[in-house]
Amino acid sequence: MGKSVKEILMDGNGYACIQCGRCTGSCPSGRECSLRTRKLIHMARIGMDVIKEDELWDCTTCFTCQERCPKEVKTTDMIIELRNLAVEEGYLPTMADVPKIIIKSLYDTGAGQPLSPEISKVRSIIGLKKEAYDVSTNEETLKKFQRLLDGLEITRKGGLR
């Protein structure tokens, strides 16, 4: 199901981009770091190695650029797709270890953000169950969930198999 850069540009209307820069001008992240959305789209279009760019991982996916694009280029959707391609091709960002921790937690507990003993205590003090009712409550359900994950790419990319 992986897409090439060209397919990503086609699906995201990237060839309609007129390089006006409204995306970069609207970007809350670009104000604080070197992310330049216009540049990323341009690099993709002229065949440069856009998936190797670290800036690709500075986008918060807030969708402001996509909403404001006068040519209806799906900038945020394209950044998400380019990240998928980058991971597929082995260009892992600086955050590479973080998703692995989250993916392992998802596999082991069903939660991306696991429960700590301290918060478990708070839960019971305020009258909630010590552990929330979810996929991990019933052992059989958790095993089935893990079987589902075993068949998905996310566990391979997350280094679990």
> Which residues in this chain contact other proteins in the complex, by CB under 8 A?
1, 28-29, 31-33, 57-64, 66-67, 76-77, 80-81, 83-84, 87, 93-95, 98-99, 102-103, 106, 110-116, 119, 122-123, 126-128, 132-135, 137-138, 141, 144-145, 147-149, 151-155, 157-158
For the CB of residue 21, give the shortest distance to other proteins in the complex, in Å.
18
- Pair 36, 24: CB distance under 8 Å: yes
* Shortest CB 111 distance to other proteins, Å: 5
To the nearest 5 percent, what fractions of the chain are helix, strand and coil? 60, 0, 40
d(CA 32, CA 71): 25
Min. distance of Cβ 53 from other proteins in angstroms? 13
Helix (H, G, I), strand (E, B) or coil at 41: helix
Tokens of residue 133, six digits: 């009712």
In the bound state with other proteins, the residue whose beta carbon lies nearer, of 44 and 59, is: 59
- Shortest separation between residue 122's beta carbon and other proteins, angstroms: 5
